[in-house]
Structure 1
Amino acid sequence: MALASDAFPSKPLRFVVPFPPGSGTDTTARLFARKIGEITGQGVAVENRAGGNGFIAVQSLLSAPADGHTVFIGSNSTLSTNAALFKKLPYDPLKDFAPISLLSRGACVVIVPANSRYQTLKDLIDDAHKRPGALNYGSGSISYRLYSEWLNEMVGMKTTEIPFKGAGAAINAIVSGEVDFAVVDASGAIELIVGGRVRGLAFTAPDRSPLIPNVPNASEAGIPNFLAYNWVAAAVSAKTPAAIVEKLIALFQQVGAALDVREYYSRQSTSLLMTPPADLTRYQKEEIDRWKRLAQTVNIEQQ
């Protein structure tokens, strides 16, 4: 008698994403969905369940049958930083998921509107020092809030959060001049920086990005330790049979090894990682510890 896992996937798959279309997480989800669809011959639908601090998307995964046909394509927000900002999460980012892989990681960029008075990050910091609390920043998720508060703490400025549902909305608020600055995933802002629709003040990595060579790296901008990264990972319900999890791991690794996928990421500001499951779990634990310490240091009250 054949096991159910032998025929996996036996029906179309569903990738649940906790952000709107256009986010870095969504882009990665759609790339892997297309490639896995090609490999398996099964359709792979990407379902964007934005809002609710990622709780809606997580619940969608955990309430689905644990048969491997529903996969969570999440990020640092849902899989690490939420643990630092909420007294009681409706899920456990470690125990409720079976890890598949840490798929990709990319640096952020500090951006301001194109017509902003701030030509450099120092300009923004100097003004913030003169007017504590007067400047505001757009945050598209819990992670972006932590990154922004980390920047505040690092340079000794006080600014006010304006929350948005997703990084795309926060970036749009910069384009329209609604907020003073934002720390966002670089992949979602590069075209706007190149096109002159927003101004980049700092790329949060040790080196400049070849895609936006005029934007200073963290050290050049005066914040050498502000190495803020966003990452995307794949996981399923912890109740999923181990044999099926192994099949999913193999599928994702096959996609990550594909030449066109590797070439795609080589053109981005994002690195393709494709770690083993145990490395994702270890990285989650490190991130959770880091953000809990930061939340306490900058006195972010748990929700």
Structure 2
Amino acid sequence: MTTTLSPSRRRFTLMAGAACAAGLAGLPLPTRAQAFPNRPIRFIVPFPSGSGTDMTARIFAKKIGDLTGQGVVVENKPGGNGFIGVQTLLGAPADGYTVFIGSNSTLSTNAATFRKLPYDPLTDFTPITLLSRGPCLIIVPANSPYRTLGELVADAHKRPGALNYGTGSVSYTLYSEWLNELSHMKTTGVPYKGAGDAINGVLAANVDFAVVDASGAIELVKSGKLRALAFTAPQRSPLLPNVPNASEAGVPDFLAYNWVAAAVSAKTPAPVAQRLGELFAQAAGSAEVKDYYQRQSTSLIVSTPAELHNYQKEEIARWKRLAALAKIELL
């Protein structure tokens, strides 16, 4: 899948960071970083197991564990719009042994949807690298009367506020309200603890639809347990060739993407953060990780810390504009 970030991010290319890390690997580092890691690392994921963020954390945890000979444990800290996971990271020693595997929700969109965050996504973290980026799916229950997005929108126009959507985080709420804005419909959000729970809500037909991370729903759509009305990208997914892209579904501007990134506390020593960046880049260059992402509708991306920081700033500005446009009430 072609990655399409902003023009200033075009130097992002699939696996670009691997080559950078290979060059950095030859540079001398302080003893503290050279010895890192010499004990297990933990990855903090602010969502339940089964989410796209969780799956990314686990594939990188396994490979970095293989590379270092040290265990890498994934700890899920769901709830509180990601605040619990963030607080777990910021409350831990800033020594690089606790790494935050966050998403656009915790690292950008929260800043656009909360009046006052208990953390600053731009200053409380030292960015390490982007890891993945992928489109969403608009899903409905398998027995839903809606076979196209147009049918769902038409019914919503007839019954404003009657239809509801499942949302696994603030990002998904923002995406769903964006869809409402573009489609001129009014639907009601039903919050869940994470994307996996929102998908389960659709499976059980407890909600009418949901905008979810594509990687977490593809197999359920392929098996017929869910129906997908649209793939939120400019092209169809090769894994779901019968699902229309955003334009074909009637919402060409609805290009909703989820992304996952790694970060540590801003107090972490720079050489340790640099070493973590090398490890993530080496893991991303492995056959196992490449093969995993080739099987997903998600792009594998490795960035520099500066590129990730700038991308966060761009995302926050974008979502603040969108929240104002869609008249989303701040939490």
Q: Deviations over 1:127-185 (max 9, x none)?
A: 00111101000000000000000000001000000000000110011111000000000
Q: What amino acid is the match of 1:281?
A: H
Distance in 1 between residues matched to 2:133 and 2:222, nearest whole Å: 21
- Displacement of 1:279 in angstroms is 1.2
Is residue 131 of structure 1 aligned with residue 159 of structure 2? Answer: yes
Distance in 2 between residues matched to 1:257 and 1:278, nearest whole Å: 20
Distance in 1 between residues matched to 2:82 and 2:147, nearest whole Å: 34
What is aligned with 1:84? 112
SS in 2 for 1:220: helix
Of residues 187, 199, 203, the one that matches 1:175 is 203
SS in 2 for 1:199: strand
Moved more, 273-282 or 137-146: 273-282
What is aligned with 2:83? 55
Distance in 2 between residues matched to 1:263 and 1:207, nearest whole Å: 21
Is residue 101 of structure 1 aligned with residue 129 of structure 2? Answer: yes
| Structure 2 counterparts to residues 125-274 of structure 1, below 5 A | 125-274=153-302
SS in 1 for 2:122: coil
Is residue 46 of structure 1 aligned with residue 74 of structure 2? Answer: yes
Distance in 2 between residues matched to 1:283 and 1:3, nearest whole Å: 31
- Displacement of 1:5 in angstroms is 2.2
Distance in 2 between residues matched to 1:291 and 1:24, nearest whole Å: 21
Unaligned runs of 5+ in 2: 1-29
Distance in 1 between residues matched to 2:246 and 2:303, nearest whole Å: 26
| Structure 2 counterparts to residues 67-82 of structure 1, below 5 A | 67-82=95-110
Distance in 1 between residues matched to 2:97 and 2:123, nearest whole Å: 19
Distance in 2 between residues matched to 1:3 and 1:252, nearest whole Å: 20
Q: TM-score, normalised by structure 2?
A: 0.90
Of residues 28, 35, 52, the one that matches 1:24 is 52
Distance in 1 between residues matched to 2:308 and 2:44, nearest whole Å: 18
Q: Deviations over 1:96-134 (max 9, x none)?
A: 111110100010000001111101000000000111101
SS in 1 for 2:89: helix
Q: Deviations over 1:5-60 (max 9, x none)?
A: 22101210000000000000000000110000001010111000000111110010
Distance in 1 between residues matched to 2:206 and 2:212, nearest whole Å: 15
Work out the percentage of aligned pairs sharing the same amino acid.
69
Runs of 4+ in 1 over 2 A off after TM superposition: 2-6
Q: CA RMSD in A?
A: 0.8
Of residues 297, 318, 322, the one that matches 1:294 is 322
What is aligned with 2:144? 116
- Displacement of 1:299 in angstroms is 1.5
Distance in 1 between residues matched to 2:276 and 2:239, nearest whole Å: 33
Paired residues in the alignment total: 302
Distance in 1 between residues matched to 2:192 and 2:308, nearest whole Å: 27
Q: TM-score, normalised by structure 1?
A: 0.98
Q: What amino acid is the match of 1:196?
A: G
Q: Deviations over 1:264-299 (max 9, x none)?
A: 111111100111111111111111011111111121
Distance in 2 between residues matched to 1:280 and 1:174, nearest whole Å: 33
- Displacement of 1:262 in angstroms is 1.0
What is aligned with 2:303? 275
